[in-house]
Amino acid sequence: MSGTDSVIALTSPEISVKLFVTDDSVVRPLELIAVFHRWIKDDSLEDELVIDVANYEHVPQGPGIVLICDKAHYYFDVRHDRWGMRYRSRREARAVGQEAVARAFRSALHAASLLENDPALEGRYRFRTDQVEFGIYDRLRAPSTEDTLEAVRPALDATVEALYGAPAKGYALQSGPKEPFMVSIEAPGAPDVSELLGKVAATAG
């Protein structure tokens, strides 16, 4: 992929960031239905027009419980048997390039932080930050290839540096050729969600 292609990959509106929970055994997905409905009532997600909650708990390794928004979905999903909070932007790109990546991190971190601090969940949900999954659901602009990874690497590098204060330890393409582009980011540290959220807020603008 050329430099131009890197711009193309990150003009996609379909960017995702997933933060994994530290302990899968604490997850009781159905309890999140009530939590998400309350978020809607309380307008907990600024910047989002939240529409509804979808329940896919019955589907193994599926999207879990989904908060459907106008320009994003927030999945508490269990793809590949790992629970986590996945933010996935949709429709129009609200930003491109590194800004798009930083915004996606911010949204995922914000939702994770809400879960960590939700009184109904009694602090059971904690998220790890030493490993993050970044993805682009756009097979036209960002096929699942090492080339796409190379193309988006500068933006990922810049975001990781800004958040963690050091370069990523590594990136690994996780997705097969038929899947949406997914890359695992091995972060240089494991700061708290709240700490990262503070830093990314400044970066994402």
Partner 1 sequence: MDGGPSWQDKLKDQIPDELGREVDIFETQMELRRRGEVDERLFAETRLRRGVYGQRYDNGQRHDGTQNRPLEYRDHPTKGPETMWDAPGMVRIKIPYGAMTAEQIDVMAELSEDYSDGISHVTTRQDIQLHFVHIEDTPDMMRRLAAVGITTREACGNSVRNVTACHLAGVCKTETFDVTPYAEVLKEFLLGHPDVQDFGRKMKPAFSGCAQEACGLVNMHDIGYIAKTREVDGKVQRGFEFYVGGGLGAIPHPALLLTDFVSEEEMLPLTQAVCRVFARLGEKENRGRARIKFLVAKLGIEEFRKLVYEEREVLPHDPRWTSYIKDIADYAEVPVREPAPLETNGEHTPEFRAWYATNVRAQSQEGYAVATVKCPLGDLTADQMRDLADIARKFSGDNVRLTVEQNIVLRWVSEADLPKVHAALVAADLGAPGAETIADLTSCPGTDTCKLGIAASRGLVAELANHVGHLNGGTDPALKNLRIKASGCFNSCGQHHISDLGFYGISRKKGGRLVPHFQVVLGGKWVENGGSFGLATLAIPSKNIPTVVKRVTDRFLEEREPDETFTAFIGRLGKVEVKRFLQDLTEVPSFEEDPSYYSDWGDPRVFTMEDYGEGECAGEIVPMVEFGLQASEREVFEAQLYFDAGDMEKAKAMAYKAMLTAAQALVKTEFYDISDVPDQIVSEFKTRFHETQRFNDRFAGSKFASYLFQAHEVGGNGGRPEQARDRVQEAQLFIEAAYKCYERIGTAGAPA
Q: Which of 139, 157, 173, 195 binds partner 1 (CB under 8 A)?
A: 139
Kindly state the tokens that stand for 136: 């682009």
Q: Does 191 bind partner 1 (CB under 8 A)?
A: no
Q: Does 184 bind partner 1 (CB under 8 A)?
A: no
Q: Which of 41, 46, 119, 122 binds partner 1 (CB under 8 A)?
A: 41
Q: Does 119 bind partner 1 (CB under 8 A)?
A: no
Total number of residues that touch partner 1 (CB under 8 A): 38
d(CA 132, CA 152): 15
- What minimum distance in Å lies between the beta carbon of 131 and partner 1? 20
Q: Which of 1, 22, 26, 90 binds partner 1 (CB under 8 A)?
A: 90
Q: Does 84 bind partner 1 (CB under 8 A)?
A: no
Q: Which of 63, 83, 129, 193 binds partner 1 (CB under 8 A)?
A: 63
Q: Does 82 bind partner 1 (CB under 8 A)?
A: no
Kindly state the tokens that stand for 100: 């798009």
Binding piece for partner 1, criterion CB under 8 A, among 19-27, 62-70, 121-129, 144-152: 62-70
Q: Which residues bind partner 1 (CB under 8 A)?
A: 8, 11, 14, 30, 33-34, 37, 40-41, 49, 51-52, 54-63, 66, 68, 70, 73, 75, 79, 90-91, 137-141, 178-180
